[in-house]
């Protein structure tokens, strides 16, 4: 999260295990994303009348509902600029922390397709970095086994 006017920010994380098989089916990642947003709201002391521009992505759908039901001024928006740069930098840090690679390696995998190719190049060692709860994962994994 980033308060545009002051540059203050709050960073939280949704752990990878919430995107694995059974946890994924229970959609616990939506709950955790909502908790992260609420923690950030508290940390940054966001007033209910202060507009909160929140990414329109699915992972924040519950957060939007929670904020709205608690009287916050929620605005769905495509996030860009300094806020997007902050999010990308934090994402890269999290991938480095997980052991995906160093900053240069991780930064070179800017797209989903590049990351997926990297995983499939050594699936045995890298599958642990994948959201295996996706219904498409078994198919992608199986297709790679045929190459």
Return the axis-axis angle of helices 61-69 and 28-43, rounded to nearest 10°: 50
Q: Are residues 89 and 124 in the same domain?
A: no
pTM strictly above 0.85: no
3-class secondary-structure state, position 52 = strand
Do 24 and 66 reside in the same domain of the chain?
Answer: yes
15 with 81, same domain: the answer is yes
Instruction: For 81-109, write each residue's pLDDT tens digit.
Output: 999 999 989 988 998 998 888 998 888 88
Residues 68, 123: one domain? no
Please tell me whether residues 18 and 46 are part of one structural domain: yes
pLDDT, residue 144, reads 62
Enumerate the β-bridge partners of residue 9: 2
In a domain, 104, yes or no: no
* Domain co-membership, 3 together with 42: yes
Shared-domain flag, residues 49 and 115: no
Where does the pLDDT of residue 10 fall: very low under 50, low under 70, confident under 90, or very high at 90 and above? very high
Same domain, 2 and 38: yes
Tokens 């930064």 appear where? 107
> Is 56 found in the same domain as 38?
yes
Residue 83 located in a structural domain: yes
- Asked if the structure places residue 27 within a domain, the reply is yes
The confidence score (pLDDT) of residue 123 equals 86
CA atoms within 13 A on the CB side of 45: 2
Say what the pLDDT of residue 145 is: 55
Note the pLDDT tens digit of each residue in 122-142: 888 888 888 888 788 888 777
Whether residue 113 sits in one domain with residue 56: no
Most confident listed range (71-80, 113-122, 126-135): 71-80
pLDDT at 129: 85
What's the number of domains the chain is made of? 2
3-state secondary structure of 97: helix
Q: Are residues 86 and 120 in the same domain?
A: no
Say if residues 128 and 122 touch (Cβ distance below 8 Å).
no
Its domain, for residue 54, covers 1-99
pLDDT tens across 15-62, in order? 989 988 778 889 999 999 999 999 999 999 999 999 999 999 999 999
Tokens for 145? 């086994």
Residues 67 and 40 reside in one and the same domain: yes
Residues near 86 by beta carbon (within 8 Å), at least 6 away in sequence: 2, 9, 11
């Amino acid at each position: 999260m980033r308060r545009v006017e002051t540059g203050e920010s709050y960073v939280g994380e949704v752990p990878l295990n919430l995107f694995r098989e059974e946890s994924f089916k229970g959609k616990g990642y939506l709950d955790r994303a909502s908790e992260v947003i609420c923690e950030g709201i508290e940390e940054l002391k966001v007033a209910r009348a202060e507009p909160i521009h929140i990414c329109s992505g699915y992972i924040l759908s519950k957060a939007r509902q929670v904020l709205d039901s608690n009287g916050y001024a929620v605005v769905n928006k495509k996030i860009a600029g300094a806020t997007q740069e902050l999010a990308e930098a934090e994402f890269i840090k999290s991938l480095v922390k997980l052991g995906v690679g160093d900053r240069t390696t991780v930064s070179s995998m800017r797209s989903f397709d590049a990351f997926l190719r990297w995983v499939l190049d050594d699936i045995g060692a890298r599958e642990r970095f994948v959201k295996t709860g996706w219904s498409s994962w078994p198919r992608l994994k199986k297709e790679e086994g045929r190459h």
